[in-house]
A = this chain, B = another copy of it.
Amino acid sequence: MTTGPVWINGSLAGRIDPADRGLLLGDGVFDTLAAFRRVPFAGARHLERLVAQACEIGIDIDPRSVRAGWDAVLAASTLDAAVIRTTVTGGTAAGGLWPRDGGAPTLMVTVSPWPRHLFEHPVRLATSGIVRNAGSPTARLKAVGYLDNILAAREAAAAGADEAMLLNGAGRVASTTIANIFALASDRLMTPPGADGVLAGITRGLVLETAVAAGLDAAERSLTPAELVEADSVFITNSVRFIRPVLSIDGAPLQSRGAERVRWLSAALTRQIERECGVDPRLLG
């Protein structure tokens, strides 16, 4: 059973219809963010991306409804440091892929504890044999169909790693199952572009902006696995676990010449959270 309050279509007592298109067809997108002292961090950016991605797959949602869901679960929760997941689906509809029958979408918000112990915690990556499909718009969406990622994460765990790294069909680095990848090489900070089969993560965007403001040459750029091995440092980002240094790929240790810069970027992100949520997240959870 779910462990915290669940808000579905305006109510903390809502239900999921067995014919929901999210369940039957993966017809939906989602978002996860961290909320500290009941303030969603980077909430406006998360909301904007979620509404845009829903629109891209033909689902119209009202951002005010999403905010209402966030407020409802945060008010009903006792968590000082929480993860909010927002799921939007095509709602309940008769069979068939398309078009929908015009019914209302499903909007669901759940809340769970923020995993404090993963903050800045280093990870070991394993390269997955599962290809990230750069030829599909779904690869750039936070779509609910995560089966490739689930299978890749299982592979990685079996290989003794913490996370799987996926490459696209051209052999370029895409992302991990749940995080974007960055490589730091002297003054250059690089992360693969959307066209390589990458979700434009919110923390990815914040890190790029912070790096540019600090004078680094930070930009989207395709990366090969070999370039990660040669980089001064490699790290991954997501909106719950923020910045985590990568220790090794497939058992081979990476460089850590850029470790100080990675720590600086993480500290800058922590300050950003503190400004927006009024608390240093490391003191919570």
Q: Is A133 an interface residue (CB 8 A)?
A: yes
CB contact between A2 and one of B18, B27, B151, B169 (< 8 Å): that residue: B18
**A97 contacts which of B3, B15, B20, B149 (Cβ < 8 Å)?**
B149
Quick one: closest B residue to A14, CB to CB? B18
Mark each residue of chain A from 147 to 178: 1 if its CB lies under 8 Å from any CB of chain B, else 0: 11111011001000000000001000000011
Do A57 and B87 form a contact, CB below 8 Å, given A19-B110, A169-B135? no
* In the assembled complex, A144 has its CB within 8 A of some CB on chain B: yes
List of B residues within 8 angstroms of A169 by Cβ: 131, 133, 135, 169
CB-nearest residue of chain B relative to A133?
A: B133
Q: Given A2-B17, A85-B95, 15 more contacts at CB 8 Å? A: A3-B94, A8-B18, A16-B23, A25-B149, A26-B26, A26-B145, A57-B151, A94-B112, A97-B177, A98-B150, A98-B157, A130-B135, A131-B136, A143-B147, A169-B169
User: Do A16 and B20 touch across chains, with their CB atoms under 8 A apart?
Assistant: yes
| Residues of the B chain whose Cβ atoms lie less than 8 Å from the Cβ of A130 | 135-137
How many copies altogether?
2
* A91 nearest CB across to chain B (Å): 11
Q: B17 contacts A1, CB within 8 Å? A: yes
The 4 A-B residue pairs with the shortest CB-CB distance in the complex, in nearest-first order:
A145-B145, A131-B135, A26-B145, A133-B133
Contacts of A26 in B (CB 8 A): 26, 143-147
CA distance A89 to B150 in the complex (A): 13
Partner of A138, one of B28, B108, B151, B157: B151
Residues of the B chain whose Cβ atoms lie less than 8 Å from the Cβ of A157:
98-99
Indicate if A22 sits at the interface (CB-CB under 8 A).
yes
- Complex interface residues of chain A between 158 and 201 (CB less than 8 A to chain B): 169, 177-178
Note all chain B residues with C-beta closer than 8 A to A92.
Answer: 1-2
A6 close to chain B: CB less than 8 A: yes
Whether the Cβ atoms of B8 and A147 lie closer than 8 Å is: no
Q: In the bound complex, do residue A154 and residue B98 qualify as a contact, i.e. CB atoms below 8 Å apart?
A: yes
Instruction: Evaluate contact between A154 and B58: CB separation under 8 angstroms.
Output: yes
Contact A23 B20 (CB under 8 A): yes
Q: Can you identify 7 A-B contacts, CB atoms within 8 angstroms? A: A2-B19, A24-B144, A98-B157, A99-B154, A133-B135, A141-B147, A143-B147
